[in-house]
A = this chain, B = another copy of it.
């Protein structure tokens, strides 16, 4: 496999991407990594020794910034690392792209360069949450790409999410739910109610509404929501997880007694495990489901380790016919889920969201 890593995307670019690419290339000699970005800034970061032979630099002179307007910046900056990277995927010179940059621009780039899978109205960012009980994990989508969703979009997210969890995580029959403000069918918004009605007609194992806490319960494996709510859920859980860890550390330092210090030392392995579960760095990347090709959105604050993991996610997503499975499931779902948004106009609408 040949994987593109956007060297200019994310808060710690290009340092973190270059280091992440080095880690990955060394650990996976059978695969190739293409670092796309400003060559003059990348070269000094490679260090003194000879870089691994499976690591390649590909120059691109522009950068889509975090505060750029996503789609217009992607369109305007024709030599941006993100755009050049996606074109490598489009032209068959790479199998997947990973970027920790502006997630709206990654989505716009996927839509404009690679296009949507047949029948897909809106691609979604699919983020895997750690289950804090029971051991299973839960896929949340959309985690931020589509602010303005229609019921058919949410239903398609359910179809794609189910296919992903089944084929990538090996869950035989994932349970699918709609995120709402209560479990009773009378709760929710017109969007969640209509999406639920659609999903109820499907052949998925649809369980109805779940609440925010159920993302971590291990009871459901796929939860669909609009990108506005999904992003807020993501950031809220990140805030709590990191905050709790900080608080624990603070309590230990503040009390400062020998017992607490000893306690913290003895609990170090448990705390490290805890941190790994809540920390995005270990989680790596979220695939864009529904585009014709593999695009992975990594967290803006990604460390080298996070980007190493995101490249691993790209490998797992690109391997073994996921796109075909997604296409098959969307096609099969058209019996109960008629879709209408085809062609360029729909792409433009999705991009502008």
* A→B interface (CB under 8 Å): 67, 69, 132-133, 144, 147-148, 179-182, 184, 186-189, 211-217, 227-229, 231-248, 251-252, 255, 259-260, 262-267, 269-271, 273-274, 277-278
In the assembled complex, the Cα of A173 lies from the Cα of B278 at a distance in Å of 33
In the assembled complex, the Cα of A232 lies from the Cα of B227 at a distance in Å of 13
Cβ B233 vs Cβ A236 within 8 A: yes
Cβ B216 vs Cβ A148 within 8 A: no
**Given pairs A232-B232, A247-B273, A251-B274, 20 additional interface contacts (CB within 8 A):** A132-B240, A132-B242, A144-B181, A147-B189, A148-B189, A188-B228, A214-B239, A216-B239, A216-B240, A216-B243, A236-B236, A237-B237, A248-B267, A248-B270, A251-B269, A260-B266, A260-B269, A260-B270, A262-B263, A263-B264
Q: In chain B, what residue has the closest Cβ to A233?
A: B236
CB distance from A227 to the nearest CB of B (A): 7
Interfacial chain B residues near A212, Cβ < 8 Å:
231-239
Cβ A239 vs Cβ B182 within 8 A: no
14 intermolecular pairs with C-beta atoms under 8 Å apart: A67-B184, A133-B243, A133-B246, A212-B232, A213-B242, A229-B229, A229-B232, A233-B236, A244-B245, A244-B278, A248-B274, A255-B270, A263-B264, A263-B267
Lowest 10 CB-CB distances: which A-B pairs, in order? A132-B243, A263-B266, A213-B239, A212-B236, A212-B235, A251-B270, A181-B231, A263-B267, A240-B240, A259-B266
